[in-house]
Structure 1
Amino acid sequence: MFELVEPIGAVTFSDVPNEAFLAVGMRNYWDGYFAGRAAPLGLAPAEVVHAVFYNFADGEVARHIPWVWGKITPQEALTVRQQGSSAALRQWMGPLVDSLDLTRITDLATRAGVSAPTVGRPLYAGLRALALPEEPVARLWHAATLLREHRGDGHNAALVAHGIGGTEAHVLLALSMGMRAEEFGRVHHLPRPRLAAVVDGLRARGLVTAEGGFTDAGRRLRERIETVTDELAAPAYDVLSPDELDELIAGLEPIAAAVNAANSHTP
């Protein structure tokens, strides 16, 4: 389900929503990112958004929040995000919009998206408090976003429980992809001494080798975190019967494939 939901929810980080945010006064991509993704939290200060998002380096959130709230309200940001994301999803789905039983697929995804526990999941809870879009493509994107952020909140809890900080999590992800930390897009912009200190800390804990790769212990830890994340995400789908879950998977597969294909052709 993660592999099917993630591409659909993540259209919100693509060019169409980004351009929509730039059109209302955002200075760059990250202004729109923080305005849109943090909007369900209301006028939360940077310290709260940093805590909820978890994986940004110190000071990154504060470069955008509260500045964005001087240009756009959280409610306006939600509208821009939803309209831009549903427009991007519709564009990338192409003929699938009319060839699939979108109402049925969206109904199943929405039932799962609104059924998960909210306790300990602040971003998911904020999204759950919002009204569901009526238009099917917009509702499908919203349902995918609910499931994505529910899983994300659980992933953060798993990282905390295993003593892995946000930047450390990016380093471990980079290593799992066969990359060195300084090559990974989410952290390569950090000052080299700062990133080196993070890697050194993981090395001192026996998780990273002297050459900058995984130790066996490091690989096992990351696998354990991913397993716990999946276990914490699973209750969202308990509301669906096995046949309904199979139906949802079959319905989402061509949509996720279309979105992934569109992404692969995006410069």
Structure 2
Amino acid sequence: MSTSLPERAGRHCQAALNTLHSAHYFSPDLGRELAAVGVDDVTAAYFAVRSAAMGPVGAGVVTATFFNFRHGLVARHLPAVWEKTTPSVALAARARAVDATLRRLLGEEVLASAEVAEAAGLALRATEACVRTARPLYAAHADLPVPEAPHLALWHAATLLREHRGDGHLAVLLDAGLDPVEALVSHTATGKGMTPRAVLGTRGWTREDWDAAAGRLRDRGLLDADGELTSAGTALRTAVEAATDRLDRAPYEHLGAAGVERLTELGRALASAVVGAGAFPGGTFGKN
């Protein structure tokens, strides 16, 4: 396969597919399906379904692999959630929630389309070049079976590509000297991350934690007094993403430039439809 991909091609492709993956986290279908198996807290449900592929793990494993959650919040729900359900039951509930979410947001005609089947085939082909080494969340999900339905196979492949990139991204953040809250603050300052309100409402950090992290970034010359990235801060975030791209290049090189371009086109069309259908609450992403 050709390795002459346009700059950031893999990043753009994965970003489109990640919209499809992430929609179920904000869906009422996930809460309903998890409540039906005994998990009625939305935060516990998130920890359960995303970590279930790793087995009945405790708070330490989830804090390490999810990275940007306060350990105290994780420990409040794990391993206690496994007294209410099991990883296999949680995974089955997640699959039902994903199916219901995509059917509601995209409609039966789209899910049955040739485009969704084509996207699934391309995305699965890309995952053939993903590697398990030092990528725990990806490796755990890679051991799960590929669903038969094309829209679920596409979602599964999108999940693998998301976690593969994410595992590498965490190594890059550590190398850049960014702790979990500093990573969140600096990402939000780019305008592409979650808003401070969304972070503080879901990650367990306090306003004091956020302000302290912002202070550390200012001390390093990465953030200015108004909370905007300095030129050095922008350069660091750019370098972080570029290094993540390098660690994540294999699946997209394997798919090839034409395949990546087509998968990105298909993924963006589906992502646009998902967003247009109201998958994500207002105020979730951005600087404010």
Normalising to structure 1: TM-score of the pair?
A: 0.91
Q: 1:239 is paired with a residue of what secondary structure?
A: helix
Aligned match for 1:169, one of 175, 183, 204: 183
Instruction: Indicate the SS of the match to 2:249.
Output: helix
Q: 2:266 aligns to what?
A: 251
Moved >6 Å (runs of 4+): 178-181
Matched, 1:123 2:137: yes
- Asked if 1:160 is matched to 2:174, the reply is yes
CA distance in 2, matches of 1:19, 1:53: 23
Report if the CA contact (8 A) 1:106-1:143 is conserved. Answer: yes
Q: Deviations along 1:44-85, whole A, 9 cap, x unmatched?
A: 210111001111123121111111101110111111111211
- How far is 1:134 from its partner? 1.1
Residue type of the alignment partner of 1:239: H
CA–CA separation in structure 2 for the residues paired with 1:57 and 1:252: 32
Task: Tell me the equivalent position of 2:222.
Answer: 207
| 1:260 alignment counterpart | 275
Distance 1:93 1:117, change over 3 A: same
Give the residue type in structure 2 aligned to 1:31: A
Offset of 1:190 from its aligned partner? 3.2
Among 17, 20, 39, which residue is 1:5 paired with?
17
CA contact (8 A) 1:17 1:81 kept: yes
Q: Where does structure 1 lack aligned partners over 5 or more consecutive residues?
A: none
Structure 1 pair 180–235 and aligned structure 2 pair: CA distance change class (3 A): closer
Q: Within 2, Cα distance between the matches of 1:208 and 1:266?
A: 28
> Given the alignment of the two structures, is residue 102 of structure 1 paired with residue 116 of structure 2, yes or no?
yes
> Using CA pairs below 8 Å that are at least 6 residues apart, which structure has the higher relative contact order?
2
**1:135 matched residue in structure 2:** 149
Q: Which runs of 5+ in 2 are unaligned?
A: 1-12, 283-288
Q: CA deviation at 1:21?
A: 1.1
State the shift of 1:180 in Å: 11
**One-letter amino acid of the structure 1 residue matched with residue 162 of structure 2:** R
- The match for 2:38 is 25
Q: Hey, what does 2:100 align to over in structure 1?
A: 87
Q: Do the aligned partners of residues 179 and 67 (structure 1) sit closer, same or farther apart at CA in structure 2, a change above 3 Å counting? A: closer
Q: What RMSD, in angstroms, separates the aligned Cα atoms of the two structures?
A: 2.2
Structure 1 residue identity aligned to 2:259: E
In structure 1, the partner of 2:199 is 186
Distance 1:249 1:190 in 2: 34
Q: Is the 8 A contact 2:132 2:139 kept in 1?
A: yes
Q: Which range moved further: 256-265 or 154-163?
A: 256-265
Could you say what secondary structure the match of 1:174 adopts? helix
Preserved contact between residue 16 and residue 88 of structure 1 (Cα < 8 Å) = yes
The equivalences for 1:32-47 within 5 A come to 32-47=45-60
Question: TM-score, normalised on structure 2?
Answer: 0.85
Aligned residues: 266
Higher mean alpha-carbon deviation, 25-34 vs 245-254, is at 245-254
The residue type paired with residue 215 of structure 2 is: D
Structure 2 CA distance for partners of 1:264 and 1:21, relative to 1, 3 Å: closer
Match of 1:74 in 2: 87
Q: Deviations over 1:214-256 (max 9, x none)?
A: 2221111111111212222221122223333333233323211
Distance 2:252 2:209 in 1: 40
Which residue of 2 is the match for residue 226 of structure 1?
A: 241
Greater mean alpha carbon deviation, residues 54-63 or residues 90-99: 90-99
Which residue number in structure 1 is paired with residue 252 of structure 2? Answer: 237
Q: Whole-Å Cα distance in 2 between the matches of residues 135 and 178 of structure 1?
A: 32
Conserved in 2, the CA contact under 8 Å of 1:86 and 1:141? no
Task: Tell me the equivalent position of 1:51.
Answer: 64
Determine helix, strand or coil for the equivalent of 2:200: coil
**Percent same amino acid at aligned positions?**
36
Q: Which residue of 1 aligns with 2:6?
A: none
